[in-house]
Amino acid sequence: SLSPSPAVEDTLVELDFFQESFPSEKKSGEFLLEFDNEEILHVDWEKKQNVWRLPDFQRFTSFEVQGALANIGVVSWLLTRKTPQDPFLPPQRELSTVYPENAVELGDPNVLICFVDRFSPPVLNVTWLKNNEVVSEGVEETDFYPSVDNSFRKFSYLPFVPEQGDIYVCQVEHWGIPEGKMEKIWGKHRAPSPIPETMENVLCALGLAFGILGIIAGTILFFKAMRMNDRRGFM
């Protein structure tokens, strides 16, 4: 019989890819080092340098850039060989979403996060729209993170100040999407509608009426109590 597989506590992943970027079709390559599904660093083929996920990581370790560039070179050479093209895997709509980093309060700065999952190859274009207008100021993106099924995931971040009526759209373009792009919308029914002025007046009137009734009821009870005390004293 087969012996059980040993329990795996930690995983270290090295990933190399070389391809055309989207939508510019510019050639790009990358080497990624990941530990327990968290990026440590990646090496950009064009810049030919390490890009650490957190700057403090390089205080404890180092990584040889030339070794990663050599791996990317091998992958680039393999693309020249006659091999069948793998089918495109589009992002999964039900797993991709847009959500705020913190609880939403109108007027308070926040960050919208667009999470795109289960796509391949790792070529993706994310565009943010605010009320149908493209916004790019302050936008940041993570690298392409690999999953155990050989698909990829990616995050895009948009700083914003939530205001009543604003609608934000995360627009995703990928070769595997039949219609070319998909959209995830945030903003509909997110903020409570302000109370109309007429409703405010009605509520104020009701509050005042209940307050007057309370005063009248309290006064009546007070005089009744006084009369009862007088009768007891007389007896």
Whether the predicted model's global pTM rises above the 0.75 cut: no
Q: Could you tell me which of 155, 118, 161 has the C-alpha nearest to residue 140?
A: 155
Is the pLDDT score of 8 beyond 70? no
Asked if the domains at 12-78 and 97-186 fall in one CATH topology, the answer is no
Question: What mean pLDDT do residues 116-124 have?
Answer: 89
Percent of the chain past pLDDT 70, that is, above it, reads 70
Place of tokens 């903020």: 191
What distance in Å separates the CA atoms of residue 235 and residue 230, rounded to the nearest whole number? 9
Q: Look at residue 208 in the predicted model and tell me its pLDDT.
A: 52
Strand partners, 113: 99, 157
Phi, psi torsion values for 181, nearest 5 degrees = -155, 160
Mean of the per-residue pLDDT values for the chain?
A: 77
What distance in Å separates the CA atoms of residue 118 and residue 96, rounded to the nearest whole number? 9
Q: Look at residue 41 in the predicted model and tell me its pLDDT.
A: 85
Looking at per-residue pLDDT, the higher value among 42 and 2 belongs to 42
- Say yes or no: domain 97-186 is CATH 3.90.550.10: no
What distance in Å separates the CA atoms of residue 138 and residue 135, rounded to the nearest whole number? 9
Q: Which tokens belong to 167?
A: 């609608």
pLDDT band at 234 (very low <50, low <70, confident <90, very high): very low
Question: What mean pLDDT do residues 81-102 have?
Answer: 81
Looking at per-residue pLDDT, the higher value among 70 and 109 belongs to 109
Is the pLDDT score of 189 beyond 70? no
Least confident piece of the model among 37-51, 147-161, 216-230: 216-230
Is the pLDDT score of 57 beyond 90? no
pLDDT band at 235 (very low <50, low <70, confident <90, very high): very low
Query: What ranges do the domains of the chain cover?
Result: 12-78, 97-186
What distance in Å separates the CA atoms of residue 159 and residue 100, rounded to the nearest whole number? 10
Q: Of the ranges 70-79, 145-154, 177-186, which is most confident?
A: 177-186
- Say yes or no: domain 12-78 is CATH 3.90.420.10: no
